[in-house]
Amino acid sequence: MISLQRVTKVYRNGTTALDDVSMEVEKGEFVFIVGASGSGKSTMIRLLLKEDEATKGDIYVAGKNVAKLTAWKVPHLRRNIGTVFQDFKLLQDKTVFENVAFALEVIGKTKNVIDQRVPEILDLVGLGDKLNNYPDELSGGEQQRVSLARACVNRPLVLLADEPTGNLDPSTSVDIMRLLDKVNRIGTTIVMATHDQAIVDAMRRRVIELEKGKVVRDQARGVYS
């Protein structure tokens, strides 16, 4: 489902964020990318989304060679990938419903489909009663659940999460992890970058550890360190 082959990323200012990284993620896996701040976790997520280009090496996501993707096909890659970030990335001038609906609108789903699927997925994340609220009327945990609903409403093959619990308190984080686990169990491949030790240790999933841009550990059913 995801494959990195000898990927190196050197930023324009000379920083080497990823250094000859290779890894394979199978369909339906749940993988934690762990490592200290600055070890290259976010860079890896950005490369998978083609928000940035690898300096060297090949990247495959959902069968597509990301490096060879032309600019106008990038939106189609992203429609197969759900994303969740530390800062939620919600549109402040849209309601909860509209934020989630937006992900379906951009892929041309009809109003019928939207009106059916959006409340369904918002129910699933426990926000069935907040459809018409605006993001700034929600707690951090609720905003992250909206973001997760938006990421999943389109039933993506892959879900990429970059520190999704970074702005949340421990009990809210556990709620989010339960949801992610649920999403993974219906077959979605999940790659989650985090430095939240408690969560990694509790979940007991595959752990890939980065250190200064290199993979230093790849362990099935691992712990943080």
Ligand X SMILES: Nc1ncnc2c1ncn2[C@@H]1O[C@H](COP(=O)(O)OP(=O)(O)O)[C@@H](O)[C@H]1O
Task: Give residues in contact with ligand X (CB under 6 A).
Answer: 11, 13, 15, 17, 35, 37-43
* 40 vs 135, beta carbon nearer ligand X: 40
| Residues whose CB falls within 8 Å of the CB of residue 41, separated by 6 or more in sequence, listed in order | 33, 34, 35, 162, 163, 193, 194, 195, 210
Alpha carbons 148 and 85: distance in angstroms, whole number:
9
User: Residue 76 binds what, of Mg ion, another protein, ligand X, none (CB under 5 to 8 Å, by partner type)?
Assistant: another protein
Q: Which is nearer to ligand X, 50 or 117 (by Cβ)?
A: 50
**Could you give the CA distance from residue 63 to residue 162 in angstroms, rounded to a whole number?**
22
Per partner kind, with CB cut-offs from 5 to 8 A, the member of ligand X, another protein, Mg ion, none near residue 220 is none
Cβ atoms of 100 and 143 closer than 8 Å: no
Partner whose binding site includes residue 202, from Mg ion, another protein, ligand X, none (CB under 5 to 8 Å by kind): none
Residue 11 tokens read as 């930023």
Residues that bind Mg ion (CB under 5 A): 42
When asked if residue 75 is in the footprint of another protein (CB under 8 A), the reply is yes
Per CB under 8 A, the list member of 13, 92, 112, 171 interacting with another protein is 92
| Cα within 13 Å of Cα(71), Cβ side | 0
DSSP state of 176: H
Six-digit token string for 51? 């928000």
Residue 150 lies near another protein (rule: CB under 8 A): yes
Nearer to Mg ion, 195 or 206 (CB): 195
- Closer CB to another protein, residue 34 or residue 151? 151
Q: Per CB under 8 A, does 155 bind another protein?
A: no
What stretch of H or E contains 201?
A: helix 197-203
Regarding 83 and contact with another protein (CB under 8 A), the answer is yes
Residue 72 within binding range of another protein, rule CB under 8 A: yes
- Give yes or no for residue 71 binding another protein (CB under 8 A): yes
134 binds, among Mg ion, ligand X, another protein, none (CB under 5 to 8 A by kind): none
From residue 141, give the alpha-carbon distance in Å to each of 45, 100, 130, 136, 163. Answer: 22, 16, 13, 12, 13
Judged by DSSP in three states, 220 sits in coil
Q: Does 145 bind another protein (CB under 8 A)?
A: no
Q: Which residues bind another protein (CB under 8 A)?
A: 49-51, 71-72, 74-79, 83, 89-93, 102-103, 106-107, 136, 150
